[in-house]
Each structure stands twice: as structure tokens, then as C-alpha cells.
Amino acid sequence: MQDFNALITGGSRGLGRAIAREFRGKGANLALVARNREALDALAAELQSVGAGDIEVIAADLSDPEAPAAIVDQLQGKWGRLDALVNNAAVGGPIGRVWENGWREWRETLQVNLLAPVALCRLSIPWMRRGGSIVNLSGGGATGPRPNFSAYATAKAGLVRFTETLAQEVADLGIRVNAISPGIMATEMLEAVLRAGPQQAGEDYQRMTEVKRNGGQPPERAAALAWYLASPASQGITGRLISAIWDPWPELAKHVDELNESDIYTLRRITPEDRGKQWK
């Protein structure tokens, strides 16, 4: 897709790299953000051979509250508008019981995983054209408790609710906002759980051991969903948390009316009545 400008955070490795490759394969101009400039430059050199179009590289640390404004300021000097924002950058955060976690690391996890994406959304929306799209990457703990990963789970749950809320706020601007549950992939976050060991990681340790043995979910599946949600193919789909692995997202365009008339793919509170109980 020519003349399509996309900003992707956490773009130097893992899922971010897969998303960058997917978007580049579709002809998008890319702005890739990560802390490691050398890794970004290497990926940009690889992607330059895929096709024509602009690739901007921005080295930034999203644990710095000033980073989102600096990123957008730099990019606005290059591009006249933004078509898609993909908030992929994340850190796993401290592992273990919350009162044993380092408080600085706990707060930094919220900064990177929640506050930085919110800031980038706030700064990007006035610059985003009608028909633009925001894609936020969710993760384990967003839809249910994840003991020993309280900072990560809290940030990701907050990001999903923010996604749902923002989608309603920008509906009249013609901007869509969705979140992706990418599945468990064989990334550095998985390795961090294994290094922490079963005493700190709890039940997640055995689960991640099994995932590593099986190779994990392919990042290309989540990357394809990110492009689908960023592109006009998903017109009308907004305010949803969609699983790259389990949900039939390639067919969702056929169900837009049903989707928008329901609470499917959203967070909600379960009542006794939902479980066939009458407690009143």
C-alpha cells in the first residue's frame, strides 16, 4: 500500500521485527522505534531491499516519560501525517510477589507498557488522518490474574481498557483502535521467566518451559493481524481485543454489524446471572 505511514515501537526484534516485515511487505513507509540503534539500522537495511518507500529509525527508551514527545516531534518533521500507530514495545517487568518486587522496576514496567502507549496515542491522534488506526499489543494477564507478574498484568489490562475507551472517544474522527493478544512466543520475555525459575515465576515457569519446548506461537500470525487491523480491510472494527491465534479474525469483516451490536472481544464483569445463578 503506497503512501501509508506507520509508526511501530519495539521494532528491532521479536514480534516488532515481524510486524515491521509484514508492513514493509505491504508497501508501508515505516518509522521503527527501539532502544538499540544498531539493531534498528540492521533491520532497516534488510527492509530497504524489500521495496520502495521511506524507513525512519528512531532510537528511544520508552521508560523515559519524555520519549514519546521526542519521537513524534522527530517524525512530524519527516511525514505530513500518520496512518497507523502500533504500540508493540514492552518489558516483562519484575517477577515474583508484588511486595518483593523492586518498586522502581514495577513503576518502569507501567511506564513502558501503559503510559508510553497512552502518550503516543495522545500525541498521534491530532496528526492521524481520518481512516487511521491504532493497534495496541496486549499480553498475559490482561484478561485474568497472573500471579507473580503483577506489573506486567496490570499494565496490559489497563492498556486493553484504554483501547476500548479511546475507540469510543475517536469514533467521530474516523480512527479505529484495537488490541491484539499475540499468544505466547519464544521471545526474550519467555527466557526471563525461565531464568527466574519456578520459585519466583510460579505456575508460569512450567507453562513457559512447555512453550519453549514446542517453539511457541509464530510471531508472523500476530504481525498479519496487526496489518489487518491497521489497513482498510478491517474498516468498522474498533474497540476490540482480538486473539491472533484463537479468533477467526480473517473473517471478521463479514460480522462487523454483529460485532458492533455486542460486547464480543471486550473486557467485562461476570455476574451471577451470567453463570446461571440467582443470588438476589
Sequence-ordered list of residues with C-beta below 8 angstroms from that of 133, at least 6 positions apart, any chain:
83, 84, 85, 175, 176, 177, 178, 229, 230, 231, 234
* Bridge partners (DSSP) listed for residue 57: 32
DSSP 77: T
The Cα–Cα gap between 236 and 79 comes to 26
**Residue-level length of the chain:** 280
Cell 508497501 belongs to which residue? 27
The Cα–Cα gap between 6 and 119 comes to 16
Contact 189, 212 (CB under 8 A): no
Nearest to 207 by CA among 223, 225, 183: 183
Contact 146, 97 (CB under 8 A): no
Containing 20, the helix (H) or strand (E) segment is helix 14-25
DSSP 61: -
User: Distance from CA of residue 57 to its chain's centroid?
Assistant: 19
Q: Which residues are catalytic?
A: 152
